[in-house]
Structure 1
Amino acid sequence: MAEDNREELPSVGDIDKMIHEPARLLIVAHLFVVESADFLFLMRQTGMTFGNLSSHMSRLEAAGYIDVEKEFVGKKPNTKLSLTRSGREAFEGYRQSMRQLFADGAPGNPEESGNHGQRS
């Protein structure tokens, strides 16, 4: 019988569920690599609808992960989004948790055991 290595893996509780949701992960990942982005740019990049992006944006703002700045450019409204320091730290923590979870040599990694994805 296989050894129980559960304590070596990060707990699911360690994963930030606010970021882990796929749509919010897309938003945060895009904002992580730029200083800021406008709403329409993010909508095009993520493929989300106006309402869907707006809903997830509100949740991320309430969590303190993004800043939302609304202004007018000429007579047109413009919404600019950026990650807060807390948002950047949370995303770094999320990335680290994912790296740890999927690290080479993790228990059950078929590459390490020589199985290369084949069942024993």
Structure 2
Amino acid sequence: MGIIDKLNKDFESRVRLGIMSVLMVNDWIDFTEMKSLLNITDGNLASHSSALEKSGYIEVKKEFVGKKPKTSYRVTNIGRTAFISHFNSLEKLIKSK
């Protein structure tokens, strides 16, 4: 198995890479802040975060603050491990000759 085979297909999208990168350095982050940081549309964030949640990489919390819905995200332990492994494989690929 080559280095490239160790890359995680779930993180191939630039949006998913962005979501995971933001969550690796933040505890919880809300929908509006994530959308702003990544400069993406509501639909893009919703679909990619849903896919990451389905894979068990992130946790999504939906609640009401007053009468307004609030969606927040955080990385799971599984997600943290998978993303670190993906990142390490990328690093090996970059350093390979």
Same-fold status (TM-score > 0.5)? yes
> What does residue 28 of structure 2 align with?
36
Q: Which has the higher contact order (CA 8 A, sep 6+)?
A: 2
Amino acid at match of 2:36: R
Name the SS for the 1:13 alignment partner.
helix
Rg larger in structure: 1
More helix by share: 2
The TM-score normalised by the length of structure 1 is 0.77
Q: CA deviation at 1:50?
A: 0.3
Deviation, structure 1 residue 20: 2.1
Confirm or deny that 1:78 pairs with 2:70: yes
Let me know the Cα RMSD of the aligned residues: 1.2
Count of matched residue positions in the alignment of Structure 1 and Structure 2: 97
1:93-120 C-alpha deviation (Å, 9 max, x unpaired)? 01100111112xx21xxxxxxxxxxxxx
Output the TM-score relative to the length of structure 2. 0.95
Runs of 4+ in structure 1 displaced over 2 angstroms? none
Q: Percent identity?
A: 38
Instruction: Provide Cα deviations, 1:20-63, integer angstroms capped at 9, x if missing partner.
Output: 21110011001111011001100000011001110001100000
Partner of 2:92: 100
Partner of 2:38: 46
1:39-94: CA deviations, max 9, x gaps? 11000000110011100011000000000000111111100100000000011001
Question: What stretches of structure 1 of length at least 5 have no aligned partner?
Answer: 1-6, 108-120
